[in-house]
Structure 1
Amino acid sequence: MTREQAITEARNAAGRAKTLAQEVESAALSSDPNRRADGEQRAAAGALWADTSRAYSALAAVLPEPEPETTDA
């Protein structure tokens, strides 16, 4: 895996976590108990996606920068 791939995966996972957080917020504000229960499951999934994003971010931090391309002819 390259540094750029790890950054891309971290961004994707953070996006999933954000979407789930928004859904959880909506469920928490609902008066429907079924939506609230669904929100708890989504919160757990969102936490896993956030952990995944942090793991990829940590990986990206230790992977080497790509070598600059040379234009030697």
Structure 2
Amino acid sequence: MTREQALTEARLAAGKAKRLAEYAEGAAHSGEPSHYAKTNRFAEAGALWADTSRAYAQLAQALPETADTDTTEG
């Protein structure tokens, strides 16, 4: 895995965490008991995706930057 791939995965996971946090917020503010019951599940899933994003970001930080290996002139 390259640094860029890890950063891409981190961004994707962060996007999922954000959406799940928005769902959790909506469910928490809902007047519907069935929606309110989903708040914790959305929040827990969002926290897992946030952890995943942080893990990929740390991996990206540990990976070397890829050098431009294309030495051809065009």
TM-score (norm 1): 0.92
* Off by >2 Å, runs of 4+ in structure 1: 69-73
Work out the number of aligned pairs and report it.
73
Deviation digits for residues 6-30 of structure 1, max 9, x if unmatched? 0000000000000001111110101
Gaps of 5+ in 2: none
RMSD across aligned positions (CA): 1.4
Indicate the percent of aligned positions where both proteins have the same amino acid.
59
What residue is the counterpart of 1:37 in the other structure? 37
What residue is the counterpart of 1:71 in the other structure? 72
Deviation digits for residues 17-67 of structure 1, max 9, x if unmatched? 000011111101011121111121011000000000000000000100001
Gaps of 5+ in 1: none
TM-score (norm 2): 0.91
